[in-house]
């Protein structure tokens, strides 16, 4: 017990130190997080894979609180990629069940309404189970007028697929004569991306857990000038101090946007 109290004391002291450090700079307005390492976390503990996903899902509530405290206005969580959908049918069903349970919790969470959190699903949602689509639509409808905090949940998402969707949409408009190919610009594309409704559509900071150092298709267009931070911690073990460390790293970098 004494060791535990000492550990908690050190953690709290470090959290306080980080808080004072990042208070000196500007917080990123939009943070994207690639939630990686659930399966490996479960394997290390010799527990079923679905439990790794379940423990990872429980972090969503805390992350929402942390982001609000740290003055972050938009969060995009990469929960399920299009590539994840090709895993074994058993694991995919487990993922759907965990995601459905968490979305049901969000729907009745009083903090969503108290904090005015707008929740939106982004990705190829049409390939998700009907129950999951309906649940997302219900949450989106209930929170559509909120602007206190924006929570994007990337499901069945792929960055290349998103860009293909934009190209098809613009090609269809060009075929109808609504726009000319010559008029298509970066702004035209940006206005048709899944994140276009956000006040800050491009993430300032992208964090990936698990030690892997790649984006895996996450927000490919939007991340052109994002600061990237890779953390050597599996997602279920992600802590507030990990988020704060990532923000401190972000604040220490000079963002030149190619200039």
CATH code: domain of residue 150: 3.40.1180.10
Does residue 7 sit within a domain? Answer: no
Does residue 206 sit within a domain? Answer: yes
Tell me if residue 36 is catalytic: yes
Tell me if residue 152 is catalytic: no
Number of domains in the chain: 1
Note down the domain range covering 178.
26-252
Residue pLDDT, tens place only, 48-97? 999 999 999 999 889 999 999 999 999 999 999 999 989 999 999 999 99
From the candidates 26, 61, 84, 104, give the one annotated as an active-site residue.
84
Does residue 82 sit within a domain? Answer: yes
Under 8 Å between Cβ of 100 and 131: yes
Does residue 41 sit within a domain? Answer: yes
Q: pLDDT band for position 20 (50/70/90)?
A: very high
From the candidates 36, 38, 192, 204, give the one annotated as an active-site residue.
36
Q: pLDDT band for position 3 (50/70/90)?
A: very low
Does residue 128 sit within a domain? Answer: yes
Does residue 9 sit within a domain? Answer: no
């Amino acid at each position: 017990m004494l060791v535990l109290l000492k550990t908690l004391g050190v953690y709290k002291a470090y959290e306080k130190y980080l808080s004072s450090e990042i208070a000196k700079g500007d917080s990123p307005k939009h943070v994207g997080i690639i939630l990686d390492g659930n399966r490996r976390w479960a394997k290390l503990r010799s527990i079923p894979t679905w439990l790794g996903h379940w423990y990872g899902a429980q972090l969503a509530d805390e992350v929402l609180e942390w982001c609000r405290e740290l003055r972050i206005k938009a969060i995009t969580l990469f929960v399920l990629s299009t590539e994840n959908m090709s895993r074994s049918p058993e694991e995919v069903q487990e993922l759907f069940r965990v995601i459905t349970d968490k979305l049901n919790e969000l729907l009745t969470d009083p903090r969503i309404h108290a904090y005015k959190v707008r929740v939106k699903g982004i990705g190829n949602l049409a390939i998700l189970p009907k129950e999951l689509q309906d649940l997302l639509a219900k949450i989106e409808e209930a929170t559509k007028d909120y602007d206190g905090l924006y929570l994007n949940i990337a499901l069945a998402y792929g960055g290349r697929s998103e860009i293909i969707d934009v190209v098809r949409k613009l090609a269809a408009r060009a075929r109808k004569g609504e726009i000319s190919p010559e008029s298509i610009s970066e702004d035209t594309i940006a206005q048709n991306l899944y994140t276009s409704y956000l006040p800050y559509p491009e993430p300032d900071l992208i964090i990936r857990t698990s030690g892997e150092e790649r984006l895996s298709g996450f927000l490919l267009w939007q991340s052109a000038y994002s600061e990237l931070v890779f953390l050597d911690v599996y997602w279920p073990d992600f802590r507030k101090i990990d988020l704060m460390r990532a923000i401190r790293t972000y604040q220490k970098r000079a963002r030149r946007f190619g200039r």
